[in-house]
Structures are given as C-alpha cells and as structure tokens.
Amino acid sequence: MEAAIPIHWSIGLSAVIFAIGAVGVLTRRNMIQVFMALELMLNAVNINLVAFSQHLESMTGQVFVLFVITVAAAEAAMALAIIVAFYRNKPTLNVDEFNLLKW
C-alpha cells in the first residue's frame, strides 16, 4: 500500500521546524522563549520519528515519540521550576544574567 504522504515531505518539514527552533534557541535572550524554541526542536524530532514509523512499517518510532513526550514534559516542569527558583534570587529572565554561580 502506497503511503499517502511522501516521506520526503515530512522530513523536509521536520528539518525546517528544527532550524526555526535552533534559531530561537541561539538568538533569544528570554529564558522562557529559549525553552519554547527547545520544544519546537523536540516536536521536529517527533515528526521525523512518526514519519519513519509509517514509512518502515514499524511501531518502534511511535513508541519512541511517547518517550520523547515524557522526557519533554519532565524537562519543561524542571526547567520552569528552576526559572521560578532563580527569579526569587534575581528578578530577571535574561540568559546573559544567569551567572549566580560565578563570583
């Protein structure tokens, strides 16, 4: 059975989204926006995994997406808790000023 969507389309989309996420991570100064761009990159990987799962007729890719989503949720919770804890000590979200461990 021929797949409805060519695999190259999904992979191209995933590459574009990953690049947009990389731009966000590299250029934004706001800590929250950096983490939002990180979610973009994780989603790009998920699209890739699902596309290959369909292309290669194996469910392993979809199971891995499950694990990626789990780790992304854990990462978001931890990151945002760290931001809250940091904000108490120094009311800023600028990544350039995240230097409390320097002296």
Q: Which is nearer to another protein, 54 or 98 (CB)?
A: 54
Closest contact distance (angstroms) between CB of 91 and another protein is: 8
Instruction: Give whichever of 47 and 103 is closer to another protein, judged by the CB atom.
Output: 47
CB of 3 or CB of 103, closer to another protein: 3
State in angstroms the smallest separation of the CB of 71 from another protein: 7
Whether the Cβ atoms of residue 72 and residue 42 lie closer than 8 Å to each other: yes
Give min distance, CB of 6 to another protein, in A: 8
Do the Cβ atoms of 10 and 51 come closer than 8 Å?
Answer: yes
Question: Judged by CB, which is closer to another protein: 91, or 102?
Answer: 91
CB of 9 to another protein, least distance (A): 6
Decide: 48 and 10 in contact? Cβ < 8 Å.
yes
- Answer for the pair 32, 98: CB distance below 8 angstroms, yes or no: no
Question: Residue 71, exposed/middle/buried by CB under 10 A (0-12, 13-18, 19+)?
Answer: exposed
